[in-house]
Structure 1
Amino acid sequence: MLDTPNTLTPAINSKTIATGKKILTGDRATGQLHLGHYVGSLKQRVELQQGNQQTILVADMQGLTDNGNTPSKVASNILNVVADYLAVGINPAQTTICLQSGVPALAELTMYYANLVSIARLERNPTVKNEIQGKNFGRSIPAGFLTYPISQAADITAFQAQLVPVGDDQLPMLEQTNEIVRKVNALANSEILVECHPLLSNVSRLPSADGKSKMSKSLGNVITLDASDQAIGQAVKAMYTDPSHLTIDQPGQIEGNVVFTYLDAFHPDTIFIAELKKHYQRGGLGDGKTKQILTDCLQALIAPIRARRQRLIADKGYLTEVLKKGTEQAKEESQQTLDKVKTAFGLNLL
C-alpha cells in the first residue's frame, strides 16, 4: 500500500470565511480547559456558532490513548469540559455538543480508515512524533495513541466538516485526514467525503509562564477558566520577561517577553498595548506595572466565566442532558457518512 504524498492544505482565518460552513472541533476530556484553549479555539467557536453548523466533540475515547491505565481521569473530566464550553458562551441551541464514545460511527470509521494507513506513515506524522518524544513512550507506544490521527480523521469526516479550528501544531493531523479522504473517495469513485481546511486563530499557541513550552494540561502549567484572582496573580507574577531589564529606566525587549505575549492575546485595547510596548522599549516602565496590567486584564476576563462555570458544574443533571441531546443529534448525522463509507468498501450487504 502506497501512502498519498503529503501536500499542504491552506489554512484560513475565521474573519475571512462565509457562514453556512460545517465545522468540527473538540477537546480531550483529560482536565479542565484553560486560557490556551480559550484564546486558541474557544473564543473562536463562540463566534463561529453564529450562522454555521458547528459540532464540538468531547473526546473521551481519545483521552484514553495515553490514559488507558487511569480511565477515571477521563471519566471524571467529561462534565468539566462541557461546563467550560457553556461557561465561555457556547450555546447548545446553536452548537451540537456530543460525547465521542456515544457516537458508534466514529469507532467504526476509525477501523475502516486504519486499513488505508501504514504504520510508517503514522510514525512520520510530526505531531505524533513530537508527542511521543514528549511523553517518553520509547517503543512502548499505546496502539491507540499511534493511531490517533486515524481517529481524528473519523471524527472530522463523520460530520463532513469543511473547517477545523486548530493550532498550527495540529496541521499535520489534518493533512493525514485529507489523505484518507482522497483514498476513500478513490475507492468510491465519487466525492463522498469532503477535504477539510484548518482554521487558525491569531494565537495558535499560548506559551507557559516560563516561555519555554506551550500552556498544556499534561505539563501542568495552565491557568484554568475557573482560576481564582489569587491564582491568576501568582501565575502572572511568575511570568518570564526581559532578564536584562534590571531597572525601570532601562529599555526593555518585547520579543520573548511572555507578559506582552499575553497582553497581545487578551487585552481588548490594542492601541493602549501598542503604546505600552513603545514605553517599555524606550525605558521608564517596570515589569511590575506591566504584570499588574495583565493581572487586571485576566481577572476581568475570567471572573464572569468562573461565576457561570460554578453555577453550571453544580447542576450535573443539566450538563448531562445537554451532552445526551447533542450526542443523539451527532449519531444521526454520522450514521449517514458511515453508510456511504461502508458502501465504498462493499460492506453494505445487510
Structure 2
Amino acid sequence: MSTNTVTSSDIILTGDRTTGPLHLGHFVGSLRNRVMLQDVCKQYLLLADTQALTDNMGNYTKVSDNVLQVALDYLAVGIDPAKSTIFIQSLVPELPELFSYYLNLVTVSRLERNPTIKDEIKLRGFERDIPAGFMTYPVAQAADISAFKATVVPVGADQIPMIEQTNEVVRKFNASVNQEILVECRALVPENGARLPGIDGKAKMSKSLGNSLTLGASSDDITKAVKMMYTDPNHLRVADPGQVEGNVVFTYLDVFDTDIEKVAELKAHYQRGGLGDSVIKRYLEEKLQALLAPIRARREELAAHPDQVMAILKAGTEKAREQTAKTLDEVKRAMGIVYF
C-alpha cells in the first residue's frame, strides 16, 4: 500500500520500542514514510517504553535511557514536533486503563494463535515461560491505537496480525455496548515490505541480534559494518561469477542507491565474474556515509541539548493525553461505569 492513499482526514499512530537507538531497518521500513506522512495527516508517534518492559523487567535503565535516544533519532531524520505529536507511552495512564478493559474481550487461545506473537516467542526462546505482559501486548497495542481513534497504522508485513487483532477488539467492544465508539484501522505497509536484512544476512536487522547499523553510527562504524556484510560465500575469486540473490550488499544497494541503472550494471558484472566484493562494498559504503552523515550531525546537535528534547516530549505527551482522556471517557460512559 502506498503512502499516497493517506489523506488529511487520516489519523496515524505508530511507534518504536525504546530498547535502543533506531537503525537502518527502521529508516527504510518506517521513518522515511513518517516524515512524509506528517505533511498529509494527523500523526502520533509513540515512544513505547511500557511495551519494551514486557521482556526487559529488571533492565529498566536500558528502556528509560533509550526514550531520549529514540526521540533523538526521530528528530534527526526530520520528524517535526510542530506537525507530529511525539509522546511517552508510560506517561499516558489512559492507555493501561483501556488495556485492562480490553483484556476481557480477548481469550488466551486467541493470543496464542497470533502469528506475530508466536514468532516473537520463538525468537526470544520463551517457550512456555512467557511473561504475561508479553503475551498480552497485542491487547495493549489495541489500546494504544484505539485511544487515538487511529485510522491508519504504518507497520511491517509481519505486524499485520496485530492490526487484525486490534480491529477484533474494536468490533467486540462496539458490539458489547451497541454503539460505534471505537474506530477500526488499516495497516499501511511500505512497498519494500519494511524489512531490511541484518549485515550478517541471516535475519532482519535487529538490535538484539547484533546485526544492525544505527542511524547515529560513526563513519568508522559504517566502514566496519560494510566490511562485515554477507555477500556470496562461493565468490572466492574476483574472476568467479557471483550471486546477487541473498547478497546483502546488493540488497542494500537496491534500497539506498537511486541510480537503478548503475546497480543493474554492477549486478550484471558481478554475475558474469570480474567484480570483487571489496569494490561493491566500497561503493555501498559511499552511499551509506552520504546518507547517515547529515543525520548523525543533526543528532549530535540535538543531543547537546537534552532538556530541549525532553521538553518536546513533555508537550507531546500532554497533547496525547487530551485525546486519550476523551476516548476513555467515551468508553466508560458507553460501559456505564461513570458514577459521579
Provide the TM-score with structure 2 as the length reference: 0.96
Which of 139, 148, 167 in structure 1 is aligned with 2:137?
148
Identify the residue that residue 53 of structure 1 maps to in structure 2: 42
Q: How does 1:152-231 map to 2 (within 5 A)?
A: 152-203=141-192, 204-231=194-221
Matches within 5 A, 1:249-288: 249-288=239-278
Amino acid at match of 1:278: A
**Deviation sequence 1:3-22 (CA, Å, 0-9, x none):** xxxxxxxxx22133333311
Instruction: Give the counterpart letter for 1:344 in structure 2.
Output: A
Q: Which residue of 1 aligns with 2:296?
A: 306
| Aligned partner of 2:331 among 334, 341, 347 | 341
1:279 alignment partner AA: H
TM-superposition CA deviations, 1:130-157 (whole Å, max 9, x none): 1112112222211111111011111111
Which among 300, 324, 329 is matched to residue 314 of structure 2?
Answer: 324
Which consecutive residues of structure 1, in runs of 5 or more, have no partner in the other structure? Answer: 1-11
- Residues 234-267 of structure 1, C-alpha deviation per residue, up to 9 Å, x if partnerless? 1111111112222333332211111111111112
3-state SS, counterpart of residue 267 of structure 2: helix
Tell me, yes or no, if the aligned pair for 2:200 and 2:211 is still in contact at 8 Å.
no
Q: Which amino acid aligns with 1:268?
A: T
Please state how far the C-alpha of 1:270 moved relative to its aligned partner.
Answer: 2.3
1:266 and 1:120 map into 2 onto residues whose CA distance is 42
- The yes-or-no answer on 1:36 pairing with 2:25 is yes
Maintained 8 Å contact 2:29/2:195: yes
SS at match of 1:77: helix
Q: Does the 8 A contact of 1:158 with 1:334 survive in 2? A: yes
Paired positions, count? 339
**Identity over aligned pairs, percent:** 59
Aligned to 1:291: 281
Report what 2:77 is aligned to: 88
Secondary structure, in 3 states, of the residue corresponding to 2:105?
Answer: coil
Structure 1 residue 158: Cα displacement: 0.7
Gaps of 5+ in 2: none
SS at match of 1:150: helix
CA contact (8 A) 1:187 1:344 kept: no
Aligned to 2:105, which of 116, 123, 137?
116
CA RMSD for the aligned pairs?
Answer: 1.3
Which runs of structure 2 are paired with 1:96-115 in the superposition (5 Å)? 96-115=85-104
The TM-score with structure 1 as length reference comes to 0.94
Residue 128 (structure 1) aligned with residue 117 (structure 2): yes
CA distance in 2, matches of 1:269, 1:18: 30
Shift of residue 193 of structure 1? 1.5
Deviation of the 1:278 alpha carbon? 2.3
Q: How does 1:63-74 map to 2 (within 5 A)?
A: 63-74=52-63
Task: Please give the alpha-carbon distance, in whole angstroms, between the structure 1 residues aligned to 2:170 and 2:262.
Answer: 46
Q: How many Å separate the matches in 2 of 1:210 and 1:219? A: 10
